[in-house]
């Protein structure tokens, strides 16, 4: 079993929809949680960075962490075609010098 599980999709939604992307994990030592967006043939780009449990909002993006359930989510409001990309969750614990463990990524397609 992988340390981080992420539904690969693809997920197709109409423009303007609310998108929910999720990851589950097994390592209870993970403390830092990130979401990256990756366009085709580009490197991952950091979207959200959170520590421990709770919510964080940045524009149309909201990240949620539920450590008791070992479950993290990324919500995208008013989705746009430009949001079409692969979304990767990543996480690490405090003692691993920034070594991140990634999910496999969810491919999102926002249609007109």
Partner 1 sequence: GAGVSQSPSNKVTEKGKDVELRCDPISGHTALYWYRQSLGQGLEFLIYFQGNSAPDKSGLPSDRFSAERTGGSVSTLTIQRTQQEDSAVYLCASSSELSAPLHFGNGTRLTVT
- Binding region for partner 1 (CB under 8 A): 2, 4, 6, 8, 32, 34, 36, 41-46, 49, 88, 90, 97-105
- Bridge-based pairing of strands 11-14 and 106-111 is parallel
Which residue, 13 or 100, is less far from partner 1 as judged by CB?
100
**Phi and psi, residue 24, nearest 5°:** -120, 155
Residue 6 is encoded by which pair of tokens?
């992420």
- The neighbour count for residue 56, using CB atoms within 10 Å, is 15
Which residue, 79 or 92, is less far from partner 1 as judged by CB?
92
Query: What do you get for the CA distance between the two ends of the chain, in Å?
Result: 37
Minimum separation from the CB atom of position 109 to partner 1 (A): 17
Minimum separation from the CB atom of position 89 to partner 1 (A): 9
Minimum separation from the CB atom of position 75 to partner 1 (A): 20
Which residue, 8 or 16, is less far from partner 1 as judged by CB?
8
Which residue, 35 or 79, is less far from partner 1 as judged by CB?
35
Minimum separation from the CB atom of position 29 to partner 1 (A): 15
Residue 107 is encoded by which pair of tokens?
């491919």
Nearest to 10 by CA among 109, 111, 92, 100: 109
């Amino acid at each position: 079993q992988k340390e981080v599980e992420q539904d690969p999709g693809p997920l197709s939604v109409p423009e303007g929809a609310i998108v929910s992307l999720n990851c589950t994990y097994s390592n209870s030592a993970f403390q830092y949680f990130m979401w990256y967006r990756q366009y085709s043939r580009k490197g991952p780009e950091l979207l959200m960075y959170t520590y421990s449990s709770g919510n964080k909002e940045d524009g149309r993006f909201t990240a949620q962490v539920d450590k008791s359930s070992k479950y993290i989510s990324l919500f995208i409001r008013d989705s746009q075609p430009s949001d079409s990309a692969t979304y990767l969750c990543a996480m690490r614990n405090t003692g691993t010098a920034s070594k991140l463990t990634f999910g496999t990524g969810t491919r999102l397609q926002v249609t007109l």
